[in-house]
Chain A
């Protein structure tokens, strides 16, 4: 017997949640216990009075599973609102990465040149290392990181994406 795999879609969900102990564990654990995927997850307090956080989750699944994920998120008591940015229409997604590249000579020059093309900023430098800061959509960062592997990449930190709907509307 073979275990069947289904075709999946990538969706970006944003959740408005109560900023209290256990909320993140409740959401992340629900994904695990029901067998849903998390590609990335970001969370930060966004309200003036520190009572509300916004969570951005990138997930993959067949469309009925995405529907279930949204419904299961909404069922959690501290979750107030769930928006599927992918369904909601045009939106922007951004992610920040810090990329450390070690090297000397030509390799170092090439890293610097590529960083310039990708509009990555140097935020730390020694005689044999750089840390670049790059912001963009996930594809751009993927490509940049792939290129840096050729020229001495030693470490990457990525934030996972945050997203907002385009135009005046809110999610």
Chain B
């Protein structure tokens, strides 16, 4: 009976599962797997410069390609460094397979060199995890892990493999049956779909509130959403994670909702009579003050995860199903029963009134580059190239969400739930590896970019032409903004002191560096960035004290948006201060 080592079995199963790229960093406890990788040609290994970068790169790869991202790191610090990315993928429902080395089984628990309780540490920030104790179990576990990571609500799965399990051999010709011990929602119950369609068809002020679940469900779900919006005539808004599912150029588009969403989206959410939540989860950044959240609407919630139902907001009609399938069912029922699109003229007239507020307008300047202007010009220069945009976390992220517009899914990579600074550059690298011909841009802040700046070397090594567009205002802008809103502008530690010279840094890593601080020269500088066949770091010096508006302050209702800086008070009561 032919036998193979655990490491060889692992590689075989990864190939069987369609893996072509692994993001990793070697170390003592994964040397047998690295040796097996060296001796094959089917899987490309991408060497990152820090394990956090590996996890975020795999997330970017997964988000941009729709396939699971695979991470390979060593035991102890390798695994703990990857934890932020695992937690990030768990919050944003990104399918990852994280392979971690572990000390040999006989050493587990002895505080061996580079030992950490990886399974314990990742238990509550992964969808599932395993400690493999026998190479004979490896094939079954890895197959099940792929299934768990990608089916139902996607998420990260960690497989901890002790070094002796990688070396020991097991028989390979036993085709073990795949375990089927978990179920996941697919099609919705037709009674529920009928009721949902009836509610939408009779609504005077419906709204489709969409989220990242539509992106996760696949391109067909985005198609279904467009058709559903067209059939019903309802306006569409989206969470940060769902941008691109409905085209920003579409007639029904209201813009993003939530804390930094548009006035029209938030007012429409507040005033609607039927809310259809499609693959979103009523996050606190979306709802604002819960007791004032859309008080008079009937709420329909389609989600693949039962635990999302009634978690924060009580809904009237929960539908546990794949959101793409459920929307297709709604379309079939709508057509089958020959419902007619309502005129909804009054509703759209009210929306037009809110739109007229022009909430995304900002003061212009001929002296300095306004950060919003920089995003607008970047969008204008790249919109015909169907770019993939990643972001870090902070003001620049929200400005990108507001002023960059997406017409297709899988083009927008951002850390929504966990809010991880340092996500954007490695995510852009992962997205570029999955889409070698795409234009990939990380819209960054000067503070966030420094959190995983070592990954510049990864882009250099693999000749990845990623662009990093830094909105450099010399502040941790979102922290400063909250200090202005809440703590009377006591700027505790939010100034970005001792910044590197980003142009010189770019050149040191073999990148091109561009600096621009003049709005009149911005378009040319962006064109120069896009024309360069290789990685570029763009240090865009923007107006230093701009804040991100509109904004629903902490603990406020959708109707209490701050539209511009004049409305900022500088203090808040303790109840509001306690909210994140």
Distance from A76 Cβ to chain B, minimum over Cβ atoms (Å): 8
**CA gap between A78 and B129 in the complex, in Å:** 11
Please tell me if the beta carbons of A1 and B124 are within 8 angstroms of each other in the complex. Answer: no
Distance from B126 Cβ to chain A, minimum over Cβ atoms (Å): 10
**CA gap between A33 and B314 in the complex, in Å:** 23
**CA gap between A14 and B182 in the complex, in Å:** 18
A77-B181 contact, Cβ under 8 Å, with A1-B574, A29-B124, A64-B314: yes
Please, which residue of chain A has its CB at the minimum distance from the CB of B577?
A1
A117 at the B interface (CB under 8 A) = no
Please tell me if the beta carbons of B181 and A71 are within 8 angstroms of each other in the complex. Answer: no
Hey, which chain A residues are within 8 Å of B181, CB to CB? 18, 77-78, 80
A77's partner among B128, B305, B307, B309 (CB-CB below 8 A) is B128
A75-B123 contact, Cβ under 8 Å, with A1-B575, A21-B131, A64-B314: no
A71-B182 contact, Cβ under 8 Å, with A22-B123, A77-B127: no
Hey, which chain A residues are within 8 Å of B314, CB to CB? 64
**CA gap between A32 and B311 in the complex, in Å:** 17
A64's partner among B120, B148, B310 (CB-CB below 8 A) is B310
Distance from A133 Cβ to chain B, minimum over Cβ atoms (Å): 36
Hey, which chain A residues are within 8 Å of B67, CB to CB? none
Please tell me if the beta carbons of B119 and A22 are within 8 angstroms of each other in the complex. Answer: yes
Hey, which chain B residues are within 8 Å of A80, CB to CB? 181
Please, which residue of chain A has its CB at the minimum distance from the CB of B124?
A33
Hey, which chain B residues are within 8 Å of A22, CB to CB? 119, 123, 129, 131
Please tell me if the beta carbons of B123 and A29 are within 8 angstroms of each other in the complex. Answer: yes
Please, which residue of chain B has its CB at the minimum distance from the CB of A72?
B307
Size class of the A contact interface (CB-based, 8 Å): 20 to 34
Hey, which chain A residues are within 8 Å of B148, CB to CB? 77
A30 at the B interface (CB under 8 A) = yes
Hey, which chain A residues are within 8 Å of B574, CB to CB? 1
**CA gap between A1 and B575 in the complex, in Å:** 7
**CA gap between A18 and B182 in the complex, in Å:** 11
Distance from A146 Cβ to chain B, minimum over Cβ atoms (Å): 37
Count how many pairs of residues, one from A and one from B, have CB atoms less than 8 Å apart in the complex: 39
B174 at the A interface (CB under 8 A) = no
A26-B310 contact, Cβ under 8 Å, with A1-B574, A1-B578, A77-B148: no
**CA gap between A35 and B28 in the complex, in Å:** 37
Please tell me if the beta carbons of A26 and B123 are within 8 angstroms of each other in the complex. Answer: yes
Please tell me if the beta carbons of A75 and B307 are within 8 angstroms of each other in the complex. Answer: yes
Distance from A161 Cβ to chain B, minimum over Cβ atoms (Å): 25
**CA gap between A72 and B309 in the complex, in Å:** 11
A7 at the B interface (CB under 8 A) = no
Hey, which chain B residues are within 8 Å of A72, CB to CB? 307
A71's partner among B123, B129, B307, B575 (CB-CB below 8 A) is B307
- B310-366 residues with Cβ-Cβ distance < 8 A to A are 310-311, 314
- A71-86 residues with Cβ-Cβ distance < 8 A to B are 71-72, 74-78, 80
B515 at the A interface (CB under 8 A) = no
Hey, which chain B residues are within 8 Å of A76, CB to CB? 128
Hey, which chain B residues are within 8 Å of A74, CB to CB? 306-307
Most buried by A among B127, B131, B309, B311: B311
A68's partner among B119, B124, B307 (CB-CB below 8 A) is B307
Hey, which chain A residues are within 8 Å of B305, CB to CB? 75
Please tell me if the beta carbons of B120 and A68 are within 8 angstroms of each other in the complex. Answer: no
Hey, which chain A residues are within 8 Å of B575, CB to CB? 1
Distance from B488 Cβ to chain A, minimum over Cβ atoms (Å): 18
**Interface membership of chain A positions 8-21, coded 1 if the CB is closer than 8 angstroms to chain B and 0 otherwise:** 00000000001001
Given A74-B307, A76-B128, A77-B148, output 9 extra A-B contacts at Cβ < 8 Å: A1-B575, A18-B181, A21-B131, A30-B124, A64-B310, A68-B310, A68-B311, A71-B307, A75-B307
26 A-B Cβ contacts within 8 A? A1-B574, A1-B578, A18-B181, A22-B119, A22-B123, A22-B129, A25-B120, A25-B123, A26-B123, A29-B123, A29-B124, A64-B314, A68-B307, A71-B306, A71-B307, A71-B309, A72-B307, A74-B306, A75-B305, A75-B307, A76-B128, A77-B127, A77-B128, A77-B148, A77-B182, A78-B181
Q: Which B residues contact A (CB, under 8 angstroms)?
A: 119-120, 123-124, 127-129, 131, 148, 181-182, 305-307, 309-311, 314, 574-575, 578
Pairs of residues from A and B, 4 with the lowest C-beta to C-beta distance, nearest first:
A71-B307, A1-B574, A77-B128, A33-B124
